[in-house]
A and B are shown apart, each in its own frame.
Chain A
Amino acid sequence: MSALAWLMAANAALWIGFGLYAARLASSQGRLERRISQWEADNE
């Protein structure tokens, strides 16, 4: 593998990592929204 390929691999790993964490944040945000909707429905 060339030096450029290793550099791109590291760059890809960085953005995959940030992407996965953003997905985790989105998932916990979704969970929170579902809990709020449930609570609103229970209190109507």
Chain B
Amino acid sequence: MLHSKIAISALLGGLSLAICQWLVFAWAPEEKVMGLVQKIFYMHLPLAWWGLVSFATACAASLLCLIRHDRKYDLFSASAVETGMLFCTLTLVTGSIWGRHSWGVWWTWDPRLTTALILWFIYAGCMALRSIPMPEHRKASLCSVVTIVGFLDVPLVFLSARLWRSIHPSVFAANGGGLDMQMAVTAIACVAAFFFIWLSLLLIRYRQLLLSARLDSIIFEQLFKAEQEPAPKTKKLYASE
């Protein structure tokens, strides 16, 4: 079932990305002030949005893991954190390239950028926590708590450009943002295309972790059974024994 969902999602992702490439490079008009470099926005925005959605998904899965004590929620949370980290890293990289051209610097301590970097470090810590050897149930609880606490930064990232004085452009702002119709259509198409890519990566990673956990439990059960069974009788080597 998961297999076919991944295949459909990956196929839709590939097709929609191909359409988006045409929309971005051939159809969407060039922005008057920033010029061609504004087109970075069509990849930066979907990466940022799906990165944040990924962390929200991880937070929801972690909550379910703590409530229901089910391993599969922990594995889903781990997959979502990993996918979110990929998207968050690419958001920071593409944003940095845009900033170098538009602001003249690779990085500035702007509220939006700073909160996004804090988010990156929180979830990098969460991923590092998973590599520490400790009992699985304890690791699941600990990582769930970190994932939930880390999610508190997500609304801050989203609202930072409005709450504090920020130089980061707020495209879909309360006043409409000022996007041309063709630009808005391209941006929405890119968000939709990156959704399928995000979903495919999330499900592929989840399936891998699920299979790995199933293999662990089969091996563990075998070892447990082998310990419970009495040792097989060995032939006496000497008659006096």
Contacts and interface: CB of A to CB of B under 8 A. Distances in A.
Given A6-B101, A39-B218, A39-B219, A14 B208 contact: no
Nearest to B205: A25
Main secondary structure of the interface of B (DSSP, over half): helix
Contacts, number: 61
Nearest to B47: A14
A29 B201 contact: no
Interface stretch (B88-96, B134-142, B181-189): B88-96
Given A4-B36, A6-B97, A11 B43 contact: yes
B176 interface: no
B105 interface: no
Contacts of B94: 10, 13-14
B238 to A, nearest CB: 32
Contact of A32 (B97, B100, B211): B211
B40 interface: yes
A1 to B, nearest CB: 8
B211 A10 contact: no
Main secondary structure of the interface of A (DSSP, over half): helix
Contacts of A17: 86, 89-90, 93
Given A13-B90, A39-B218, A7 B39 contact: yes
Nearest to B37: A3
B19 to A, nearest CB: 16
A7 B40 contact: yes
Interface string A7-44: 10111011001100100010011001001100100000
Contacts of B8: none
Interface of B: 34-37, 39-40, 43-44, 47, 86, 89-90, 93-94, 97-98, 100-101, 197, 201, 204-205, 208, 211-212, 215, 218-219
29 contacts: A1-B101, A3-B34, A3-B36, A3-B101, A4-B36, A6-B37, A6-B100, A7-B40, A9-B97, A10-B40, A10-B94, A10-B97, A11-B43, A13-B90, A13-B93, A14-B43, A14-B94, A17-B89, A17-B90, A17-B93, A18-B197, A21-B201, A25-B205, A25-B208, A28-B208, A29-B208, A32-B208, A32-B211, A36-B215
Interface of A: 1, 3-4, 6-7, 9-11, 13-14, 17-18, 21, 25, 28-29, 32, 35-36, 39
